Amino acid sequence: MAAGKGPLDMVKQLRQMQQQLAEARESLATEMVEVTTGGGAVRIKMSGTQECHQVVIDPKLLEQGDAAMLQDLVLLAINQAIHESQVVAARRLGPMASALGPGGMGGD
């Protein structure tokens, strides 16, 4: 424990971090990423909490009748949206996680 930091200070700091984490999670739930594939034929909108909020498929793509291509484009768009939303979450939550690492919370 660092000099001058007692258990009550650490509890207070932990509660502050819990509040910050809750606020970050709330913010991530409303922060959206949007990904398109196939030149805009498939569009996915996903939150920072990796919840899919919208899937849009261009009707022209459906007219082509190529189910395999549609499946590939949807799968690609979903995976890209998940990746981008994870990047957003990591940027938002990263500073809090580093505070818990070595030297965080007053430890050395």
Question: Rounded to 5 degrees, what are φ and ψ at 49?
Answer: -100, 15
pTM attached to this predicted model: 0.73
Residue 24 has pLDDT above 60, yes or no: yes
Q: What is the pLDDT of residues 50-71, one digit of tens each?
A: 999 999 999 999 998 899 999 9
Structure tokens at 75: 């799968």
The candidate with the shortest Cα–Cα distance to 56, out of 41, 70, 75, 76, is 41
In a domain, residue 102? The reply is no
Q: Which CATH number do you get for residue 63?
A: 3.30.1310.10
In a domain, residue 16? The reply is no
Question: From start to end of the chain, where are the E strands?
Answer: 32-37, 42-47, 52-57
In a domain, residue 23? The reply is no
In a domain, residue 90? The reply is yes
Which whole-number Å values give the CA distances from 53 to 10, 29, 30, 102, in the listed order?
39, 10, 10, 37
In a domain, residue 37? The reply is yes
Number of domains in the chain: 1
Q: Under 8 Å CB-to-CB from 98, ≥6 apart: which residues?
A: 104
In a domain, residue 76? The reply is yes
Residue-number span of the structural domain to which 81 is assigned: 31-96
